[in-house]
Amino acid sequence: MPSSAPRSPAVEVRGVTRDFGSGDAVARALRGVDLDIPHGELLMLVGPSGCGKTTLVSIIAGTLQPTAGEVKVLGEDLVSMAPAARVRFRRANVGFIFQSFNLLPALTAVENAAVPLIIGGWSRRRALPAAAVLLERLGLGSRLTNLPNELSGGQQQRVAIARALVHEPRLLICDEPTSALDAENGRITMELISGIAVQPERVVIVVTHDQRVYPYADRIATMEDGQIVSIEARRSGEVGAPTQHA
């Protein structure tokens, strides 16, 4: 939760540019983006389709490299990091909640939730009970052995939340977490994210079009045409321009 004391930035993005394609066909998705996100904050990235939100979170999550600029996450320089180290960094520090859930259809709810632990080297015997505890907290105690196609959209998203949090990551990336859900399930999802996911040592970034979820944000960064055009501090009431650095 935000506090009035200054917090160290968990995410530092400096002058990040990202191009796709080459030659005359090059398309610039990000144009010198600067952004700081402190520990314990829930930041929402909003803006029209194609404005670069997904590209920016992909770079912050370490799944995409910038064309230029600096990206430091949890004190690690993702740009200079070797690919294998970046994979290890994601494994240990990043949790994902996707718009289309991306649950493995052949795994049960508890097995899906345990996947990050298994990727991290846990045995199934240890991972499944740990995942089950989290699912029970999320109200899915009776659906542990159901396959994704036996769950409603809201239940699937709760499994995805459990999967994103089970290994206690310090960076949580949520990509349109409510867009595939009805209003009620969207509200429940955001309450779970803001209630369970937001921790003092964790950064939560939510990419969204859904204005109904804005009240859950600590700050809202609005993007347009590959740039952050404004940052609005919701809970503290502060409204300002994007972070500027010399």
- Using CB under 8 A as the binding rule, whether residue 81 contacts another protein is answered as no
Residues 6+ apart with CB under 8 A from 29: 18, 19, 20, 52, 55, 226
State which residue, 90 or 143, has the beta carbon closest to another protein.
Answer: 90
The stretch among 21-29, 60-68, 211-219, 225-233 that binds another protein (CB under 8 A) is 60-68
Q: Could you give the count of Cα atoms lying within 13 Å of 38 in the half-sphere of its Cβ? A: 14
DSSP string, 91-136: HHHEEEE-TT----TTS-HHHHHHHHHHHTT--HHHHHHHHHHHHH
- Strands of the 76-77 sheet, one edge to the other: 27-38, 9-20, 68-73, 76-77
Positions in 178-197 near another protein (CB under 8 A): 179-180
Indicate the DSSP class of residue 212: G
Positions in 216-245 near another protein (CB under 8 A): none
- Using CB under 8 A as the binding rule, whether residue 133 contacts another protein is answered as no
Q: Cα–Cα distances in Å, from 159 out to 18, 148, 219?
A: 32, 9, 26
CA distance 168 to 92: 8
Nearest approach, Cβ of residue 58 and another protein (Å): 4
- Using CB under 8 A as the binding rule, whether residue 175 contacts another protein is answered as yes
CA distance 189 to 126: 27
Nearest approach, Cβ of residue 57 and another protein (Å): 7
State which residue, 84 or 246, has the beta carbon closest to another protein.
Answer: 84
The stretch among 26-34, 68-76, 107-115, 219-227 that binds another protein (CB under 8 A) is 107-115
State which residue, 104 or 239, has the beta carbon closest to another protein.
Answer: 104
- Across the chain, which distance is largest between two alpha carbons, in Å? 56
State which residue, 79 or 119, has the beta carbon closest to another protein.
Answer: 119
Positions in 196-215 near another protein (CB under 8 A): none
The stretch among 20-28, 115-123, 131-139, 227-235 that binds another protein (CB under 8 A) is 115-123
Binding site for another protein (CB under 8 A): 54, 57-58, 61, 63-64, 84, 87-92, 94, 96, 98-100, 102, 104-107, 111, 115-116, 118-120, 124, 175-176, 179-180
